[in-house]
Amino acid sequence: EIVLTQSPAILSLSPGERATLSCRASQSVSSYLAWYQQKPGQAPRLLIYDASNRATGIPARFSGSGSGTDFTLTISSLEPEDFAFYYCQQRSNWYTFGQGTKLEIK
């Protein structure tokens, strides 16, 4: 099983700041990585797939990068609605998720 490790567990930032979230895979997943956003009481929402492709309707402030084992989700300028949990997920070998990063307001 491919294990995804996200860091940091909690990220405290202010609106308008830049957020950088990391996801590291226990073995190469090529570019088969996605990012999801989940707000309390809601279902996850696909943000990024294939490491760097934005899903339909996702604002341009969200961007993804990386390949192999190291990936990054960047939110260029945080909006109030961006504070949530973020999960990475791989599809290289079945499907596994990272444990999540909580992005909270500082």
Instruction: Give me 67's structure tokens.
Output: 């390949």
Residue closer to another protein, measured from CB, 15 or 59: 59
Residue closer to another protein, measured from CB, 4 or 75: 4
Summarize as ranges the residues that interact with another protein (CB under 8 A). Answer: 32, 34, 36, 42-46, 49-50, 55-56, 87, 89, 91, 94-100
Convert 81-101 to b/e letters by CB count within 10 Å (16 or more is b).
ebbbbbbbbbeeeeebebebb
Q: How far is the CB of 13 from another protein (least distance, A)?
A: 22
Q: How far is the CB of 29 from another protein (least distance, A)?
A: 11
Q: Is the CB of residue 106 less than 8 Å from the CB of residue 12?
A: yes
Residue closer to another protein, measured from CB, 61 or 91: 91
SS3 62: strand
Q: Is the CB of residue 23 less than 8 Å from the CB of residue 2?
A: no
Q: How far is the CB of 15 from another protein (least distance, A)?
A: 26
